[in-house]
Homo-oligomer: A and B are copies of this chain.
Amino acid sequence: MAREKESVVGRRGLLAAGAGIAGVGIGMAGGTAIAAGREQEPQQPTPGDRTYPFHGEHQAGIVTPAQDRLHFAAFDVTTASRTELIALLQAWTLAAARMTQGQGAGSIGATSGDYDAPPDDTGEAIGLPPSGLTITFGFGPSLFLDDRGRDRFKINKRRPVALQRLPHFPGDQLVAEQSDGDLCIQACADDPQVAVHAIRNLARIGFGTVALRWSQLGFGRTSSTSTSQQTPRNLFGFKDGTANLKAEHRQDVDDHVWVRRGADPRANWLAGGSYLITRKINMSVETWDRQSLREQETVIGRTKAEGAPLSGGTEFSRPDFELKGRSGPMIATDSHVRVAHPSQNNGAQMLRRGYNFFDGSTRLGRMDAGLFFMAYVTDPRTHYIPIQNKVARDAMAEYLQHTGSAIFAIPPGTQPGQYVGQSLFT
């Protein structure tokens, strides 16, 4: 847990101190302390030096331009004490605020002189730049009412109506060990070691209060969340997320991502927050790879090289679902782009933020690989469930198996001095 003593020496500053250069001793105040730490360094800033503010109206890691790598973890709370749960959220908040600014998880470190204590920080990110790390916390339905129907933390009366375990979708083959969870943490960074370090240190802080239920590494982002980003590719080799919501489109984000005050009167604590849906989607890549280019493009509804809709144009051209070809519409009626498109779903859009994964091989010698789907939405009942019920039957579904599923309420951002989710407990 966090200790009182405070240090301002960032991860690189710590290294410098270890080499004999005295650390600075001013009070920590978010960006200021980091800036002070940086002044010790003559190096030029690199993309790895990027930091995002931890505090704000919304949690970081949602409309933040999607970083390249992911470590996601879901936890079960092993205590029934509301006080201990709150203490955990307070400790997590402090550590997350530090780590996202490039500091260690706590102030007792490898150079703090406390030889008799375990260091607060596990150390594997010492010397690495902040790498754009964001840490985002969420609350699962079982935090409010557990599998045995207990309201352990006296919060169920404030449970959002929309925060329900997702229904069974066609083709679901869910594995309990890859699904659900009382709490979640999403760590995104441009360096995977920084993301792993964050999850590991938060899990460590939670030792005795939470147990790691499942976790997922994502090696490549599959969505852009900013107009400044190129569209990446998924393991079918196609661009993914061309039509994704972008942070710059503020009105769309307000309409489709954030929870509005008053939307659910008993859950106003969630205003400014969101809902996160995660789905572990195994892709039958061996089968996919045996399909002709024509078949692949027909299934997706876009060209493989450019990502343009089969109705013509370039990547960002609007698909023309009416345009006829020699044998039916140019964009097949069961193509993924058509079935999932907002124009076919009452205008509903998601902020997708998924990652490619590769978890080894199955017992059949096949690749255990695919897409760890993540989407932030204002309401899963309008923005995810009806759409998933449709895409679960589209032409692409034949090549997919959904093996993990979870939903979390994502509290709004915090201000300095607050802890994440505080509005739920006060």
Chain A residues in the interface with B (C-beta under 8 A)? 14-15, 17-19, 69, 71, 76, 109-111, 114-119, 121-127, 191-193, 196, 200, 203-204, 207, 211-217, 219-220, 230, 232-238, 285-286, 289-294, 296-297, 303-306, 314, 356, 358-361, 365-367, 369
CB <8 Å contact, A238 and B123: yes
Q: List 9 contacting pairs A-B, 8 Å CB cutoff, sorted by A.
A: A110-B303, A111-B305, A121-B237, A122-B236, A203-B367, A212-B365, A215-B358, A215-B361, A219-B219
CB <8 Å contact, B127 and A230: yes
Give Cα A13 to B71, complex, Å: 32
CB <8 Å contact, A204 and B305: no
CB <8 Å contact, B115 and A214: no
Minimum C-beta distance from A101 to chain B (A): 19
CB <8 Å contact, A293 and B192: no
CB-CB under 8 A from A361, the residues of chain B are 212-215
Partner of A14, one of B127, B191, B236, B305: B305
Across the A-B interface, give the 8 residue pairs with the lowest CB-CB distance, nearest first. A123-B237, A18-B305, A211-B365, A192-B219, A110-B304, A193-B220, A110-B305, A18-B306
Give Cα A37 to B138, complex, Å: 46
Most-contacted residue by chain B among A121, A212, A238, A297 (CB, 10 A): A212
Minimum C-beta distance from A3 to chain B (A): 14
Minimum C-beta distance from A129 to chain B (A): 12
CB <8 Å contact, B123 and A236: yes
Minimum C-beta distance from A330 to chain B (A): 14
Minimum C-beta distance from A111 to chain B (A): 5
CB-CB under 8 A from A366, the residues of chain B are 212
Give Cα A107 to B297, complex, Å: 18
Partner of A118, one of B117, B118, B127, B289: B289
CB-CB under 8 A from A18, the residues of chain B are 303, 305-306
Minimum C-beta distance from A278 to chain B (A): 14
Minimum C-beta distance from A420 to chain B (A): 22
* Further contacts, 17 of them, CB under 8 A, given A110-B293, A211-B365: A76-B365, A110-B237, A110-B303, A116-B293, A117-B293, A118-B293, A119-B237, A123-B238, A125-B233, A126-B305, A127-B230, A127-B233, A196-B358, A200-B235, A204-B289, A207-B286, A217-B360
Give Cα A356 to B124, complex, Å: 10
Most-contacted residue by chain B among A118, A127, A193, A305 (CB, 10 A): A305
Partner of A290, one of B17, B118, B124, B237: B118
Minimum C-beta distance from A313 to chain B (A): 11
Minimum C-beta distance from A1 to chain B (A): 13
Give Cα A293 to B121, complex, Å: 11
CB <8 Å contact, B204 and A119: no
CB <8 Å contact, A294 and B115: yes
Minimum C-beta distance from A348 to chain B (A): 28
Residue of B nearest to A288 (CB): B122
CB-CB under 8 A from A215, the residues of chain B are 358, 360-361, 367
CB <8 Å contact, A293 and B119: yes
CB <8 Å contact, A233 and B359: no
Minimum C-beta distance from A61 to chain B (A): 19
Minimum C-beta distance from A269 to chain B (A): 29
Give Cα A183 to B233, complex, Å: 29
